[in-house]
Amino acid sequence: MSAKRQEGSRLKDAEQGQVNLRLDVPHSARVYDCILGGKDNYQPDREAAKAMMAEWPALPIHMQANRYFMNRVGHYLAAKEGIRQFLDIGTGLPTEPNLHEVVQRVDPASRIVYVDNDPIVLTHARALLASSDEGMTNYVDADMRDPESIITAPEFTETLDLDRPVALTVIAMVHFLLDEDDAYGIINRLLEPLCPGSFLAMSIGTADFAPDEVHRVAREYEARGMPMRLRNRAEAERFFDGMDLVEPGVTQVHHWHPHPNAVGTVNDADIAMYGGVARKR
């Protein structure tokens, strides 16, 4: 099916479900999908992606490294730390592999709650979140700026057992939270109902390594209604205050538990994301 017919089909499905996809403006998740070579994006998303890659040709490398980080984090938490419950904020759906696919390969009984406010993800969530028979996936349609709407949602409370550890994963999201949004307060509120032994895994946008290029990309985002707040290392580390960081601490995402075959293959200047994983005391 042609891209145009696919878009028409998705739009028809969305109209039947009375979901406003807002195809006239780019959405950060769909721009991300486009840059990674996905198919669930539209002309405004593609135009935005093209403009951003013109400003920083390494952007696809950066975004792919962030996706690989998510995969490694999910596998580490499931395989090494025994985590079987996950709360994933800003899912990156439908770009594969998704978190539930990574962790259910370790244990098919794993449970995952996804959170996003992208109407396209909402429209396709049921098909995209095909869980194993033993486990469960669920979806909360919410904006992370309102953490109460997440932790009180029945999809959250009925899927996750809060007496057992949960991994809160916030991948490539907090750079869309401005100072007035209180990003640190939001993360702390999402962690609050999770029991000791739970984990926080994050990747955090930065301009520390390619400031000119990354700031130009940020201006392209802002021009399209998606302002960003990039953070330095100290600001990134602050998200994990009061928690026990997993080695090697907060580092560029491609340096966090890299696959042996990937060591030395990525230029630090091509990565604009810190990453870290920490255990709640």
Amino acid found at 20: N
Instruction: Write down the mean pLDDT value for the chain.
Output: 89
Question: pLDDT band at residue 23, thresholds of 50, 70 and 90?
Answer: confident
Cα 41 to Cα 26, 37, 121, 247, 278, distances in angstroms: 9, 10, 11, 36, 33
pLDDT given for residue 122 in this prediction: 72
pLDDT given for residue 80 in this prediction: 98
SS3 content of the chain, % helix, strand, coil (to 5): 45, 15, 40
3-state SS class at 258: coil
Give the C-alpha separation, 76 to 180, whole Å.
33
For the chain, give the percent of residues with pLDDT over 90: 70
pLDDT given for residue 24 in this prediction: 85
Q: Is the pLDDT of residue 98 over 90?
A: no
Give the C-alpha separation, 280 to 158, whole Å.
22
Q: Is the pLDDT of residue 93 over 70?
A: no
CATH code for the part of the protein at 59-280: 3.40.50.150
The residue written with tokens 């109902």 in the block is 193
Q: Is the pLDDT of residue 202 over 50?
A: yes
Question: Which pTM value belongs to this model?
Answer: 0.89
pLDDT given for residue 118 in this prediction: 76
Give residues with Cβ within 8 angstroms of 225, minimum separation 6: 25, 26
